[in-house]
């Protein structure tokens, strides 16, 4: 029966309030970061008075999220460009392979002749991908793929009807596409337009210029890139030219706290803003918004060369992360989407082994194979962790686990924390596993004598503290810490901010299952 343990009405109302929470008063201004969560590689387009933003979620499925805003401040998820990027061993987590840090990378989003175009590229699929729809919120996406892989490209429709992708690292190149955007145009332009683009920032090259995004304004083509000189920070550079093939002249445009990679956008009222992201430790890469102005046909970003923490944009209700994360009681009625857009699977799911209907009101995860690590387990259902503080909790029923099974919650990255139930020799134990080192360590084990347990993980991202702590509760009211503290870290093998995940995996035999009663998130933690 659902809800083995009671929760007070006040607790339920608290979570309901969080889903529509607002910050500030009627005189409040928007503040940075716009979203304190992993929303990197942002690209943006305005259609009328509505903005749409695409971002990177790499190995997650569905992928290439699309967000919507009316004010550049409050964003909510409205779509994904694809359900699965490709179907191969890496994306199925098979034979020890994975697509961590890979999948699809930086995207470009455009609106042209009544169609939305969202494009990306992937070393995992070996292709450049273009997705199109006439209804970006409710429509069906059509996919076109072609070779080669065009790294960090920006899709660009020119005024004369020609179509290009500008791409590359270090040397920035242009490739002309067919009018249908279905591949490279035979005998079309394909050449270097900016050799060693990083040079305008420094003669010393660390991370070569990449992350291209192009805008045309007042007769100039403007190409935005990032670079990272040695022993310095991520830096924004801009090149401009009167012709798309050049010659280009460049300038260093922003060097502030590593806030970089993005472009500029105008409002329907004629104001201009720039949007970039900042690396912020374990929480990931978080988006910032800044004013900009034109001076001598150059875009000047920020205020006197810095990105302000407070923006001159009214925001009585700045929703922050609450447009991209949410609690879920797993209650569904006919016509509901099985999984709201907030959820993404870690790699491609195997849809045979999860259900919201086998036990209505619960998420059931069934093991379809054995794995030796939670990082290789299939059907881990995730949402973003977020800053400055966040916590996620669940209740898991365990009576149908098999020996060798693990079920519970994970703070997911290369260095992970797992809190949940282990079944061994027909006995159950609440365990905490710290995966900070190469060899994970089970640091706590407590016998469990009832048919389920409440679990919680708290993450502290303030000032890059990056600590995660695990808890359990036998009654859903009193929480007890278990295990030790995970020192979270943003690692390049995963190339993604931490996520909360619901997980069940087998190490000895498949076929066991667990039922998750709820998923609840908070923006406060108990341990300061």
pLDDT at position 13 is 40
- CB neighbourhood size of 249 (10 A): 12
d(CA 406, CA 368): 13
Cα 492 to Cα 101, 102, 153, 282, 377, distances in angstroms: 7, 10, 21, 11, 20
Domain ranges within the chain, ordered by starting residue: 38-313, 344-522
pLDDT at 315: 84
Please tell me the distance from the alpha carbon of residue 475 to that of residue 372, in angstroms, as a whole number: 31
User: pTM value?
Assistant: 0.94
> Nearest Cα to 58, choosing from 75, 71, 41, 79?
41
- Of the chain, the percentage scoring pLDDT greater than 90 comes to 92
| 344-522 shares the fold of 38-313 | no
Domain 344-522: give its CATH code: 2.60.120.200
- CA-CA distance, 233 to 206, in Å (whole number)? 10
Strand spans (E) along 219-259: 220-228, 235-241, 249-254
CATH number of 38-313: 2.115.10.20
Nearest to 516 by CA among 366, 386, 324: 366
The pLDDT value given to residue 6: 38
| Cis peptide, bond prior to residue 388, ω within 30 of zero | yes
- The confidence score (pLDDT) of residue 442 equals 98
pLDDT attached to residue 26: 60
pLDDT at residue 23, as a whole number:
42
User: Quick one: pLDDT at residue 205?
Assistant: 86
Cα–Cα separations (whole angstroms), residue 506 to 237, 377, 417, 418, 423: 49, 8, 17, 14, 10
Are 99 and 91 in contact by the 8 Å Cβ rule? The answer is: yes
Nearest to 396 by CA among 501, 243, 291: 501
Query: For position 489, what pLDDT does the model report?
Result: 98
pLDDT, position 500: 99
Low-confidence ranges of the chain (pLDDT < 70): 1-26, 528
The reported pLDDT for the residue numbered 528 is: 60
């Amino acid at each position: 029966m659902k809800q083995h343990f009671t929760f007070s009405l006040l607790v339920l109302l608290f979570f309901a309030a969080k889903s529509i929470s607002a910050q500030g008063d009627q005189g409040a201004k928007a503040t940075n970061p716009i979203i304190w969560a992993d929303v990197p590689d942002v690209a943006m387009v305005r259609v009328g008075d509505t903005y749409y933003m695409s971002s990177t979620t790499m190995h997650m499925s569905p992928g290439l999220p699309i967000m919507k805003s009316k004010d550049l401040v409050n964003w909510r998820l409205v779509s994904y460009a694809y359900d699965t990027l490709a179907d191969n061993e890496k994306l199925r987590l098979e034979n020890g392979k994975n697509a961590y840090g890979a999948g699809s990378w930086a995207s470009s989003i455009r609106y042209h002749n009544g169609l939305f175009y969202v494009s990306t590229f992937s070393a995992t699929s070996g292709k450049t991908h273009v997705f199109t729809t006439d209804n970006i919120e409710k429509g069906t996406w059509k996919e076109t793929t072609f070779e080669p892989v065009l790294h960090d490209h920006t899709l660009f429709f020119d005024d004369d009807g020609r179509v290009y992708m500008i791409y590359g690292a270090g040397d920035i190149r242009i490739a002309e596409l067919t009018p249908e955007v279905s591949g490279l145009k035979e005998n079309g332009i394909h050449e270097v337009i900016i050799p060693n683009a990083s040079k305008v920032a420094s003669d010393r090259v660390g991370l070569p210029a990449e992350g291209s995004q192009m805008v045309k304004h007042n007769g100039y083509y403007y190409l935005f890139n990032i670079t990272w000189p040695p022993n310095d920070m991520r830096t924004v550079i801009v090149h401009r030219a009167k012709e798309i093939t050049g010659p280009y002249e460049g300038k260093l445009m922003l060097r502030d706290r590593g806030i970089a990679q993005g472009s500029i956008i105008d409002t329907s009222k004629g104001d201009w803003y720039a949007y970039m992201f900042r690396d912020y430790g374990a929480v990931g890469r978080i988006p910032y918004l800044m004013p900009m102005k034109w001076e001598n046909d150059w875009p000047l970003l920020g205020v006197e060369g810095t990105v302000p923490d407070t923006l001159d944009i009214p925001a009585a209700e700045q929703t922050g992360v609450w447009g991209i994360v949410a609690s879920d009681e797993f209650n569904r009625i006919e016509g509901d989407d099985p999984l709201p857009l907030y959820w993404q699977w870690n790699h491609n799911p195997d849809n045979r082994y999860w259900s919201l209907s086998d036990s209505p009101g619960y998420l059931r995860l069934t093991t379809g194979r054995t794995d030796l690590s939670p990082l290789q387990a299939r059907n881990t259902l995730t949402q973003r962790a977020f800053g400055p503080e966040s916590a996620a909790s669940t209740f898991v029923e365990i009576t149908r686990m098999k020996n060798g099974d693990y079920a519970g919650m994970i703070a997911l990255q290369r260095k992970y924390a797992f809190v949940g139930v282990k079944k061994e020799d027909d006995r159950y134990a609440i365990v905490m596993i710290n995966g900070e080192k190469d060899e994970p360590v089970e640091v706590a084990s407590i016998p469990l004598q009832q048919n389920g347990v409440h679990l919680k993980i708290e993450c502290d991202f303030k000032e890059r503290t990056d600590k995660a702590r695990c808890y359990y509760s036998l009654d859903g009211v009193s929480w007890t810490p278990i295990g030790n503290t995970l020192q979270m870290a943003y690692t390049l093998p995963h190339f993604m901010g931490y996520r909360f995940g619901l997980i069940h995996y087998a190490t000895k035999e498949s076929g066991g299952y667990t039922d998750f009663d709820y998923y609840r998130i908070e923006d406060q933690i108990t341990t300061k």
